Amino acid sequence: MKVVLIFCAFSLVSTQLTAKADERITFGVGLGHSYSGLGANLGYQTEESFTYLSAGCVGYSTLKGSTCGAGIGWVTTALSQGDNHHGIGAYAGVVGVEQGVFDNEAVYGAAITYHYFFNTIAEPGFNLGFSVAGGTVESEFELVPLISFGYQF
C-alpha cells in the first residue's frame, strides 16, 4: 500500500511541474540518502541545484518484511566556483532502521550531504555521495555516515 501511495504522489508531482529551457524534471534510481535507501527519486533540476522527493527501502528481513520510507532533499553546486560537479545539500527523511521484536520501523531524521556528479548536476549521469545523518533510535540520538550512488536520467 505504501508503494502505491508513493507512486501516486510522484505521478501527481511530475504532472504538475513544468520546466523552462535550462530547468528540467528528472528521475533517478540508486542506493543511499538521495534515494531513501534502495529506491528512486523525482526531482527538479537547474544549472546549479537539484530538489528532489525520494522513496525507497532501507531494510528487508524474511521474518519482518521490508522497511521503507520517503524523503526530501536539496543539492546546490553554487558554492563550488563554477564547477558543477561538486554539490552540498540537505536531506530529511528515512535514515535507518530500528529493530523491533515483531517488526522493524523506519528511523526518520536529517542529513548534511556531499555529492559528486560525474557529468554535471544539470546533465544525466552517475553520481556519488556521502552524508552524515542523525536520527533517534530507541530514545537516543545517533549520527551515522551514509553513502549514495545512483544514476539521474
CATH number of the domain where residue 19 is located = 2.40.160
> In the structure, what pLDDT confidence band is assigned to residue 85 with cuts at 50, 70 and 90?
very high
> In the structure, what pLDDT confidence band is assigned to residue 19 with cuts at 50, 70 and 90?
very low
Name residue, grid cell 528487508: 60
pTM of the model: 0.79
Nearest to 72 by CA among 30, 41, 32, 112: 41
pLDDT at position 20: 52
Can you read off the three cell numbers belonging to residue 11?
505521478
Instruction: Return the sign of the alpha-carbon dihedral for residues 78, 92, 27, 119.
Output: positive
pLDDT at position 17: 47
Mean pLDDT of the chain, nearest integer: 85
Question: What single DSSP character describes residue 23?
Answer: -
Which of 57-66, 86-95, 143-152 has the lowest average pLDDT?
Answer: 57-66
- Number of residues that make up the chain: 153
- Tally of domains within the chain: 1
| Contacts of 15 by beta carbon, 8 Å cutoff, 6+ apart | none
pLDDT at position 22: 65
Domain with 145 in it: 2-152
Name residue, grid cell 556521502: 130
